[in-house]
Amino acid sequence: ETAVYFEKISFGYNKMKFGSDPKEKEDSMILKEVTLRAEKGKRTAIVGPSGAGKSTLLQLIERFYDPDSGKIFVQGKDYRHYSREELRNFITYVEQDAPVISGTLRDNLLLGLDMQVGESGANLSGGERQRLAMARSLLSSAEIVLLDELTSNLDSLNELGMKKAVDKLKGKKTVIVVAHRLSTVIDSDIIYVLEHGRVVGSGNHNELIDTVPLYRELAKEQFVDREL
C-alpha cells in the first residue's frame, strides 16, 4: 500500500512572467517531472547533491507549496482533498534545525525530563535538538515521518543512536528521509537519486552503485562501500 505518491511533479519558486521564454521557465524549475512512491511502513530515501531539490520534495508533501504540475497522493487520496490541518495530522516533519518550544524538556516531550531548554532550544546543541524532534515524532500519532538531512548536526556516535531510533520505526511508520550522507540511508527499502530536480535512478544501495554513475560517485566520495 502506498502512503505517499508523487506523479510527475514539477515545481519552481518563481512563477512564469507573462510573455517570458518557456526555456527560462524550464531553467527555474527545481523539480522536473518527479515520480516517486513511498510504501506504507517502509523507509524511502531521497539522496543527491546539494541543490538537487530534495528538501523541496518534503515541503511539497506538507503543502507549504503546491506543485506547478503533477499530482501528490497521501494515503491513497489526492492531497488537495485534505485540509492542511488533516494533512499535518498524518505527517510529522523533523528538520535540520528542529524548532524547540521554550520550557522544560517535559513540555517538549511530556516524558518528564526536567531541564530548562530556553528560547528556541538555546541550551541544546543542534544534535540534541534533532534528537528531541525525532523523539517527538516517534511519540506522535502521525503515520508518515519526514526526516530532513537528519544527521547533519550529529557526530558518528550520535548518528548511530539516531539510526537506531529510525530503525525502531520500521514497519510502524512510513519514513521518508532526505539525505546528503549515504551512510545514513544505505539500508533504506528504496533510494531515489535526484540530480538537478530529476530522478536519475532508484533501487537499493547495491543496485544504485551498479546502475547510477552519480550514486557511485557519491558513494566513492563518502567512502560508503557496497553492502555485503
Interatomic CA distance for residues 23 and 27, integer angstroms: 6
Interatomic CA distance for residues 143 and 158, integer angstroms: 25
- Active site annotation includes 85: no
Find all residues with CB under 8 Å of 79, minimum gap 6, and list them: 61, 63, 72, 73, 87
Interatomic CA distance for residues 220 and 209, integer angstroms: 9
Apex CA 130: angle with CA 36 and CA 203, to 5°? 25
Catalytic residue among 95, 128, 149, 159: 149
Residues marked as catalytic = 149
